[in-house]
């Protein structure tokens, strides 16, 4: 039997990258069963506030809520050229007694936009839990390596040493900023509620015969039934498209953090200082059997670039919404919002895999440091030589010339300095000056302070709320 999956395009997010949990949140099943839950919530709230809606009608809707006939929906959509109307009719066919009151007083955005906000909330909650796990793993790794000296690089040239844990802490700090922003939005996502065709709630005011208190209460009840504590106080037919822009900007910022870290790991992998975990049967190259490419870090960079590019979409959408609304946002939102969350989800799964299996090669790290330590230590050598009676300007010029000729070999540089009587230093004395711990400053203490002051409060506060991370299979 032929496999149909190879005959039609399937998004790599579905087949390779994203978790089942995130894929489900952005599935047709989840979206359209949420439509039905919103229609039920609307009917329940309207009944509670005095409209003639029966328990039988509501029970019938509840019974059919998760039994969507998608073939019938497709037939209706071909007929009406309107997806929400197609779902209304398909739902009404399943609960005929409720047919007269389904979608009563509402506009399409009552279900589409409120559903979007629910999916945003659920997706962000899933991502936040995963980011918590990545932060926890990175914190442990930073703490273990906070005092391991390594060669630092500025302009990708050897620079004053730092520590492995300090470098990891810099990546971690970026993710903390992302965590704080995501948590803020998660705690403050409002619901659209029932705002009507242009946001004035006019249709609901008519239903409740001009009773403004009941219309306001309708908003509150629907939001409560759907798990929200607040609504947009003011809106047009839609919730403000600026909100999508803010959310995707937050995902974009996370993608930048991930790209930076993954790029650094790729560079360090080239230097031999760190390596991704490499499975027993893994093939690094179809042509070169010896290759051990950092494939997951490369993939993080690729998907991060895609996510960064997606953030332009809500910017254009927010900028081009005509007056109370236009419909060019709908098709774009279907693509960009879901793809952005699926991208972030895939990146988090990959980050967890990379951090959990990161191999730190201390021998290579030390060898790379020792290779350049003589050049880096020039200032310390100069200061010590001056203390012993040397001429600062004369010695500085000698070191400049020696350094220019000895860029690739600290050993030859140290040998030449020890043999020059003007420095008043023998090789043993210079070696004492070259202890790596003398060059890392407060890096170990900074890592400790960072974990205690910035990271631990988040780890303690968010304990037990983490999400399941999907394993990376390919």
- What pLDDT score does 168 carry? 98
The chain-wide mean pLDDT, for the chain, equals 91
State the average pLDDT over residues 213-225: 96
Q: Which of 4, 155, 279, 286 is catalytic?
A: 155
Whose structure tokens read 């303690």? 460
**Confidence band of 406 (pLDDT split at 50, 70, 90):** low
Domain that holds residue 60: 28-106
Rounded to an integer, what is the distance from CA 243 to the centroid of its chain? 17
Which tokens hold the place of 327? 């419909």
Which residue, among 342, 266, 332, has the nearest Cα to 307 in the 3D structure? 342
1 vs 152: which has the higher pLDDT: 152
Task: Reply yes or no on whether the pLDDT at 407 is more than 70.
Answer: no
State how far the Cα of 422 lies from the Cα of 381, in Å rounded to an integer: 12
285 catalytically annotated: yes
State the average pLDDT over residues 274-278: 86
CATH number of the domain at 86, please.
1.10.275.10
State the average pLDDT over residues 10-27: 90
- What pLDDT score does 38 carry? 98
Q: Which of 11, 140, 285, 326 is catalytic?
A: 285
Which residue, among 451, 473, 383, 471, has the nearest Cα to 169 in the 3D structure? 451
- What pLDDT score does 1 carry? 44
Least confident of 94-103, 229-238, 342-351, 420-429: 420-429
Query: Which of 84, 106, 128 is the C-terminal boundary of a domain?
Result: 106
Does 415 map to a domain? yes
Query: Which of 91, 106, 121 is the C-terminal boundary of a domain?
Result: 106
Does 359 map to a domain? no
411 vs 56: which has the higher pLDDT: 56
Residue 260's DSSP bridge partners are none
- What pLDDT score does 307 carry? 97
pLDDT digits (tens, 9 = 90+) for 316-353: 999 998 998 888 888 899 899 999 999 999 999 999 99
Does 156 map to a domain? no
Query: Which of 65, 80, 106 is the C-terminal boundary of a domain?
Result: 106
State how far the Cα of 281 lies from the Cα of 279, in Å rounded to an integer: 6
- What pLDDT score does 411 carry? 74
pLDDT digits (tens, 9 = 90+) for 455-473: 999 999 888 766 666 666 6
Which residue, among 257, 26, 14, has the nearest Cα to 134 in the 3D structure? 257
Contact predicate 34/62, CB 8 Å: no
Contact predicate 232/193, CB 8 Å: yes
Kindly compute the dihedral angle of the four CA atoms of residues 209, 210, 214, 217, in this order, to the nearest 10 degrees.
130
Q: What percent of the chain has pLDDT over 90?
A: 72
Does 241 map to a domain? no
Which residue, among 426, 446, 248, has the nearest Cα to 335 in the 3D structure? 248
State how far the Cα of 215 lies from the Cα of 171, in Å rounded to an integer: 49
Helix ranges (DSSP H) in 311-426: 312-319, 328-356, 362-376, 378-387, 392-405, 410-419
Least confident of 80-84, 118-122, 224-228, 327-331: 327-331
Does 242 map to a domain? no
Does 201 map to a domain? no
State the average pLDDT over residues 300-329: 93
313 vs 4: which has the higher pLDDT: 313
Does 323 map to a domain? no
Does 464 map to a domain? no
155 catalytically annotated: yes
Angle ∠(147,131,261) on CA atoms, nearest 5: 50
Q: Number of folded domains in the chain?
A: 2
């Amino acid at each position: 039997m032929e496999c149909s999956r190879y005959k039609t395009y399937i998004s790599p997010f579905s087949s390779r990258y994203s978790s089942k949990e995130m894929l489900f949140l952005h599935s047709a099943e989840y979206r359209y069963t949420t439509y039905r839950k919103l229609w039920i919530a609307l009917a329940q709230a309207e009944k509670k506030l005095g409209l003639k809606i029966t328990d039988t009608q509501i029970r019938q809707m509840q019974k059919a809520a998760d039994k969507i006939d998608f073939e019938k929906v497709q037939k209706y959509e071909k007929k009406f050229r309107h997806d929400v109307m197609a779902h209304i009719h398909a739902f009404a066919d399943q609960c005929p007694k409720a047919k007269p009151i389904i979608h009563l007083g509402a506009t399409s955005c009552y279900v589409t936009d409120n559903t979007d906000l629910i999916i945003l909330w659920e997706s962000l909650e899933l991502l936040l839990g995963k980011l918590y796990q990545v932060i926890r793993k990175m914190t442990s790794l930073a703490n273990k390596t906070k005092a391991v000296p390594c060669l630092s690089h500025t302009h990708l040239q050897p620079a004053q040493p730092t520590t492995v844990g300090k470098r990891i802490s810099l990546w971690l700090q970026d993710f903390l900023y992302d965590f704080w922003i995501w948590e803020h939005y998660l705690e403050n996502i409002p619901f659209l509620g029932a705002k009507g065709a242009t946001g004035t709630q006019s249709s609901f005011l008519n239903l409740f015969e001009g009773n403004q208190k009941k219309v306001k209460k309708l908003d509150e009840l629907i939001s409560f039934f759907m798990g929200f504590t607040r609504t947009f106080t003011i809106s047009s037919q839609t919730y403000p498209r600026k909100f999508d822009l803010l959310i995707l900007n937050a995902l974009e910022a996370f993608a930048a953090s991930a790209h930076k870290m993954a790029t650094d790991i790729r560079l360090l992998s080239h230097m031999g200082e760190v390596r991704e975990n490499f499975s027993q049967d893994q093939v690094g190259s179809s042509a070169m059997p010896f290759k051990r490419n950092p494939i997951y870090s490369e993939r993080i960079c690729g998907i991060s670039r895609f996510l960064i590019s997606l953030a332009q979409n809500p910017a254009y959408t927010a900028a081009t919404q005509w007056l109370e609304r236009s419909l060019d946002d709908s098709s774009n939102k279907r693509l960009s919002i879901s793809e952005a969350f699926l991208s972030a989800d895939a990146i988090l799964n990959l980050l967890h895999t990379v951090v959990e299996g990161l191999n730190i090669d201390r021998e290579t790290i030390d060898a790379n440091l020792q290779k350049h330590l003589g050049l880096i230590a020039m200032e310390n050598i100069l200061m010590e030589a001056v203390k012993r009676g040397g001429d600062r300007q004369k010695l500085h010029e000698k070191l400049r010339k020696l350094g220019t000729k000895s860029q690739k070999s600290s050993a030859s540089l140290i040998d030449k300095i020890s043999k020059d009587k003007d420095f008043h230093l023998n090789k043993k004395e210079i070696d004492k000056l070259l202890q790596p711990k003398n060059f890392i400053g407060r890096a170990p203490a900074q890592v400790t302070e960072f974990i205690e002051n910035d990271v631990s409060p988040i780890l303690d506060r968010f304990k037990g709320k983490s999400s399941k991370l999907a394993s990376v299979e390919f």
